[in-house]
Amino acid sequence: MFSIYVATLLFGGVLIAASLLGAGHGADAHAGGDGDAGGGSADGHDTSTSHAWLSLLGLRFWSFATAFFGLTGLVVLKLGGPTFHLLAPAVAAAVGVGAGLGASTAFRALTRETVGQVRDAGALVGREGRLLLPVQRGQRGKVRLASPGGGDVDLLAEAAEDEALPAGAEVLVVEVRGNVAIVTRTPATGPARSS
């Protein structure tokens, strides 16, 4: 049994190391049935729970399961007495399956996080902010707003009108499209005056 534990530890360890180095990037990112960044499938139905069993077929499950099976088996053989040697395969299998399922679940949850999208974007409409980078029609800049949940949020910004808005200008968010705030000059400051 010793050689089986060593082989599975090495096999799983190599797979985990390869995935950390990027070789298996996204290997089972779609095992949960997610077709888009929003966490649902392409037809609008959430299939993540109905296909959770597919995580057993993913590379992440098997790499973590085999690595922890081998590691646990070696530890039980080394530290346990003759009685524990008989229990080693069952304990190693249970720990391996638990580690594989835990890793698959954790990675699936991490890949579901939407990056670049603002939650409750509708709450940002009507808020005032300051441009960090200038905007004009057809050219995006960046705006900093006070977030409804506290703190600041920086978004890409586009001008709502043809007027160019310089960096530092106070602006009002009139719409949010994805992660882009459509802004106009705040009514208090009005249009820029030419001298």
* Residue 179: per-residue pLDDT: 79
* Residue 180: per-residue pLDDT: 85
Give CA 51 to chain center in angstroms: 19
Q: Which of 92, 112, 132 is the last residue of a domain?
A: 112
Same domain, 179 and 108: no
Check: CB of residue 33 under 8 Å from CB of residue 53.
no
Name residues of the chain where pLDDT drops below 70. 22-57, 111-121, 147-149, 188-195
First to last CA, the chain: 87
Q: Is residue 173 part of a domain?
A: yes
Same domain, 134 and 159: yes
Q: Is residue 194 part of a domain?
A: no
* Residue 170: per-residue pLDDT: 92
Q: Which of 89, 112, 135 is the last residue of a domain?
A: 112
Distance, CA of 134 to CA of 147 (rounded, Å): 21
Give the structural domain span for 136.
Answer: 121-185
Same domain, 30 and 96: yes
Task: Indicate the pTM of the whole model.
Answer: 0.46
What are the tens digits of pLDDT across the range 10-44?
988 888 888 777 654 444 444 444 434 344 434 44
Q: Is residue 142 part of a domain?
A: yes
* Residue 171: per-residue pLDDT: 92
Residue 124 phi, psi dihedral angles, 5° rounding: -85, -20
Which tokens in the block code for residue 67? Answer: 């690595």
